[in-house]
């Protein structure tokens, strides 16, 4: 990662407008059809891993996700990771950064190995040189989404979801996507959610099984 001049980017105006805002975060809500992921989960894949894979794939194709405001600075990253909340063996929770990869099998292995390590040790796994997309899965609960807290320190984009809802041949998952307005605008965030839906639909069981 490296610090860059905001004036030399497409986010120059937005950075100037929002970097000092007392509440610069924006939240969008969307309901996704995750029926394809549910089918794959029945074949032995973890639903949360599949969704995180799709999140990383959707974000990787958008330049806004490689930029992150940090106070008066704007930082550019070369790599993206997805962060998940892990229930530890001692009954607490910790976080785990999973590096995104074009290789599905590699991502699945990293997800399994890293989350298992965090659960066992009770210590967070952090990737300091990655642009991290935060997630929180409240998979046991029927929620429509959430607006996360803003403390002025953690500016990373963040997605929150609960359990999916079965509706005929579909599985519907409401989620919320929070982002810093200096990083992207609403149209970028909406496009990301559209890309996420396409990635969910495009992931094929045969391909995933071969790569596992």
Which helix or strand (DSSP H or E) is residue 158 part of?
strand 158-161
Cα–Cα distance, 208 to 212 (Å, whole number): 6
- Mean pLDDT split into 10-residue runs, the chain, 212 residues: 94 94 95 96 95 97 95 95 97 97 94 98 96 96 90 90 92 97 97 98 68 46
Give the pLDDT of residue 212: 46
What are the chain's domains? 25-70+96-141+153-211 (3.30.559.10)
Indicate the pTM of the whole model. 0.94
Helices (H), the chain: 12-18, 35-41, 47-60, 104-121, 186-202, 205-211
3-state secondary structure 4-19: ECHHHCCCHHHHHHHC
Give the pLDDT of residue 208: 54
DSSP letter string over 4-59?
E-GGGSTTHHHHHHHTT-SS-EEEEEEEEE-HHHHHHHTTT--HHHHHHHHHHHHH
Q: Backbone dihedral region of 125: left (phi > 0), alpha (psi from -120 to 50 degrees) or beta?
A: beta
SS3 category, 74: strand
């Amino acid at each position: 990662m490296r610090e860059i001049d905001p004036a030399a980017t497409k986010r120059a105006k937005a950075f100037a407008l929002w970097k000092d805002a007392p509440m610069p975060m924006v939240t969008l809500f969307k309901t996704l059809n995750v029926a394809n992921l549910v089918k794959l989960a029945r074949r032995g894949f973890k639903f949360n891993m599949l969704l995180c894979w799709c999140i990383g794939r959707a974000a990787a194709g958008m330049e806004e996700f490689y930029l992150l405001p940090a106070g008066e600075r704007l930082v550019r990253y070369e790599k993206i990771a997805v962060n998940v909340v892990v229930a530890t063996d001692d009954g607490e929770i910790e976080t785990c950064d999973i590096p995104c990869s074009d290789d599905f099998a590699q991502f699945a292995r990293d997800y399994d190995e890293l989350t298992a390590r965090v659960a066992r040790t009770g210590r967070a796994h952090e990737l300091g040189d990655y642009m991290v997309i935060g997630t929180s899965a409240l998979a046991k609960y029927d929620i429509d989404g959430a607006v996360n807290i803003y403390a002025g320190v953690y500016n990373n984009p963040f997605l929150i979801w609960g359990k999916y809802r079965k509706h005929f041949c579909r599985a519907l998952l409401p989620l919320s996507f929070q982002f810093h307005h200096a990083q992207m605008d609403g149209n970028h965030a909406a496009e990301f959610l559209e890309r996420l839906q396409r990635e969910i639909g495009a992931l094929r069981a045969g391909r995933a099984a071969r790569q596992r």
